[in-house]
Amino acid sequence: MTTTAAAPAPAPAGAPAPAVRRSGARTTAWIAVMAVVLAASVTLAVTIGSADLHPLDVWRSIGDHLGLSSSSLSQLRDGIVWELRLPRVLTAAAVGAALAVCGAVMQTLTRNPLADPYLLGLSSGASVGAVAVLILGIGWLGLPVAAFAGALLALLVTFALANRRGELAPTRTVLAGLAVSYLCSAATSFIIFWSATGDSYREILSWLLGSLGAASWTDAGIVWVAVVVVGAVLVSRARTLDAFAFGDSTASTLGINVNATRWTLLTLVALLTGAAVAVSGAIGFVGLMLPHAVRFVVGSGHRRVLPLAALTGASFMIWADTLARTLFDPRELPVGVVTAFLGAPAFAVLLRRRRVGR
Amino acid sequence: MTVLDTPVVRPLLASDAPPLEVADVSWSADGRLIVDGIRLSVAPGTMTGLLGPNGSGKSSLLRTVAGTYRPDGGRVLLGGSDLGAMRRRDRARRVAVVEQESTTDVPLQVLDVVLLGRTPHRAAASDEALALASLETVGMRDLAGRDWHTLSGGERQRVHLARAITQQPELLLLDEPTNHLDIHYQLALLTFVRSLGVTTLAALHDLNLAAAYCDQVVVLAGGRVAAAGAPSDVLVPDVVRSVFGVDADVHLHPRTGRPVLTFSPL
């Protein structure tokens, strides 16, 4: 290439401006791709593990149980697919989707890129409930119910602390959540320190770090219904969420009832997070990082971000959980450890290559 | 695709732009009266400059007029209808606000920001063309695909103005719109705002810009109106001395005949 003094010719008047990202088509393509990835992930993840399953076995079993087919799948294989693996994989998918969506909305409503679904004290509240069941033997409640109750209680206290003349100011809300989190963590530590014995330590630790080992069809059902219903409401409010980009005051001048929106959407997000925490414990990273990763790719419009975050979160969680149960078979890792090990480096790479959250 | 000939703002003739009437509006924060019974009016399609020292209540008054703050007393009427009694969304279809130094952590393209102006309106296929045309009018069409965070302060301000235009308002509220702008864009922006024919209330720091571009100026001090009227009537040494605490000499602009002020300490 030679260097000449010729400056680039100025664009003639009326020339088309540089291409603006045509996000619509690109987003649709991404959503289609991630939906296929999710279907493939469910199928493959179910086949992985002891017992040699073929991907088709998975669909045969599903078909049989839905009454769509009657195949000659052996009872053992069918049992592994339908009773053992499928509920776990589907729960993982729903939990991953829920956390990613909740994280994205939480980051928007608090205008804090570090916000995650557990921001309002939910995970530590759930932990108190769970530990109370595991150690103090308040077993009649059942762990998920106790965890959900703990999360809800933490949420109420956070709201009560943050509420000022009916307003939930973002910073106040974050700080109130922090206070509640620390209090609940202290309570959890106290109970463990006081009464845990050798064996229960590992069980507790595994729950605290997140585990899908006990997932049942009921769990899958609860989180799926929650994520579909809450997710649909949130997507329907996508433009409202977009309007928060420049803060409360700008949102207000764009016609948003900032306060009512924040109360409603934070409550919805908290309930969805509570459902996820109740069945899986607190799984870190997914809700914090995945929304950022998705925004790198499709920008920050919520109509694009929320569906894509849900699909990506679901697939991500399926594979994290699959690794958690197979990596050191027969021992299981807490899935929260895997999400952090997988996610943090992947995110670091993205961070180096693209610009994020200035 | 060419959008250059798309009409940006519905053609607003001064005759069909509504007048703004601020009637005895007060607003207080934590028991302190910040806006103290302010009464002013802006004639249809004209620009009024809101002047006053720091802390005199300019921004608070703008926010009260915008409905961001709920006034303790008084009413704001646009074309006879009470803005305070309207639903937020209906109000946002009629009033657009450009605030001071409003920014975001979220990764956004310029076009995304401008499209926010359509939030109070029903989504339509023409929204993007409208947003691009608004960008064209503030001279930023070529930057539509740029990352917001790579823009200079002045460019950001122009993008916000484009967003406000995209909102298709009848009343434009501007809080220090010329902050961060170089002299060229200060003049360009105010010339442009005037040419829109939208009823405009703008808080300004620069008395000379106000003198050059406003049809009327309102000087605030301590949350009250200290003086109001045509720039040549209001921007006189007495007023400037008592409100801003500086001495002023008033000259006449050789070409426009509008007042030009030079200042010296008391």
- Domains of chain B plus CATH, in order, are 20-230 (3.40.50.300)
Tokens 């409503």: give the residue: A109
Asked if residues A21 and A300 have their Cβ atoms less than 8 Å apart, the reply is no
pLDDT at A23: 60
pLDDT in tens, A273-319: 988 988 898 898 899 999 998 988 888 899 999 999 999 999 999 99
B142 CA: distance to closest CA in chain A (Å): 5
Q: How far is CA B146 from CA A14, A292, B75, B111, in A?
A: 19, 19, 41, 8
- A201: part of which helix (H) or strand (E)? helix A198-208
Best probe of the A interface among B4, B64, B116, B151, by most A CBs < 10 A, is B116
Q: Which residue of A has its CA nearest to B118?
A: A254
Contact A58, A43 (CB under 8 A): yes
Interface residues of A toward B, Cβ cutoff 8 Å, are: 14, 16-21, 108, 111, 113, 239-240, 242-243, 245-247, 249-250, 252-257, 295-296, 299-301, 355-358
| A253 neighbourhood in chain B, CB within 8 Å | 66-68, 92, 95-97, 99
pLDDT digits (tens, 9 = 90+) for A242-273: 999 998 889 999 999 998 999 899 899 988 99
The CATH T-level fold of domain A88-353 is ABC transporter involved in vitamin B12 uptake, BtuC (1.10.3470)
Q: Is B95 on the interface with A (CB under 8 A)?
A: yes
Name every chain B residue with its beta carbon within 8 A of the beta carbon of A357. 105-107
Which B-chain residues 156-195 have CB contacts (< 8 A) with chain A?
167
Strands B81-82 and B95-98, bridge-based pairing = unpaired
This complex has an ipTM of: 0.87
Inter-chain contact B102–A247, Cβ cutoff 8 Å? yes
CA distance A354 to chain B (A): 11
**What pLDDT, on the 0 to 100 scale, is given for residue B71?**
93
Chain B residue closest to A355 (CA)? B107
pLDDT of residue B44: 94
Where do the domains of chain A lie? 88-353
CA distance B29 to B36: 12
pLDDT, averaged in runs of 10, over chain B (266 residues): 37 66 94 94 95 94 93 94 93 94 85 95 92 91 92 90 94 91 88 90 95 96 95 95 95 91 92
* Token pair 């009773």 in the structure block, residue: A83
pTM flag (> 0.80):
yes
Q: Quick one: tokens of B46?
A: 């004209």
In B41-182, alpha helices (H): 58-66, 88-94, 110-115, 127-137, 153-166
DSSP character string of B209-257: HHHHH-SEEEEEETTEEEEEE-HHHHSSHHHHHHHHSEEEEEEE-TTT-
Question: What pLDDT band is residue A240 in, cutting at 50, 70 and 90?
Answer: very high
Q: Does B230 lie at the interface with A, CB-CB under 8 angstroms?
A: no
Q: In this predicted structure, what is the pLDDT of residue B4?
A: 34
Question: What does the pLDDT read at residue A22?
Answer: 52
Decide if B241 touches A, using CB distance below 8 A: no
CB B107 within 8 A of CB B147: yes
